[in-house]
Amino acid sequence: MSDSRNIRDTLGEGEHYAGIILGKDGAPDYYLILLAGEVAQAGWTSAATWAQELGGELPSRRELSLLFANLKEQFEREWYWSREPQAGHPHLVWGQNFASGIQTVYGRAFRGHARAVRQVQVE
């Protein structure tokens, strides 16, 4: 894939192209794809399992920020899980509120929403 026009040709039904995640050197690292479907009222473990069953994973904090910036309309005005635990507190996991844009942590038992993403490496 040489650019985002080509990545759009590879989207599955209900998938959305979210944008490019940059690497540490500032060069494009990978394209982020939002998968179809959502779960609500799910604890972190069941949300992560659901994402894996779709062939994706929960988004990282950076990815959630990109999703909020570029695909906010694809989300309910709710709180969504990330895959990132809070450093030093593995029982807490980061997520993003899609009403306010704020990122915060909740315990793994909290019942939030989840969306899955996949990555396509930039060639």
Domain ranges for the chain: 4-121
* 53 burial type by CB count under 10 A (0-12 exposed, 13-18 middle, 19+ buried): exposed
Amino acid letter for position 32: L
Say if CB 101 and CB 14 are below 8 A apart. Answer: no
Which pLDDT score, from 0 to 100, does residue 4 have?
58
Mean pLDDT calculated for residue range 92-106: 97
Helix or strand holding residue 105 (H, E):
strand 103-107
Task: Tell me which DSSP letter residue 57 carries.
Answer: B
For the cut 90, the answer to whether the pLDDT of residue 3 exceeds it is: no
For the cut 60, the answer to whether the pLDDT of residue 38 exceeds it is: yes
Amino acid letter for position 29: D
For the cut 60, the answer to whether the pLDDT of residue 18 exceeds it is: yes
Q: CA–CA distance from 64 to each of 2, 34, 102, 103 (Å)? A: 24, 10, 10, 9
Would the CA dihedral through 33, 34, 36, 39 be positive or negative?
positive
For the cut 60, the answer to whether the pLDDT of residue 13 exceeds it is: yes
CATH number of 4-121: 3.10.100.10
Answer with the residue of higher pLDDT: 25 or 74. Answer: 74
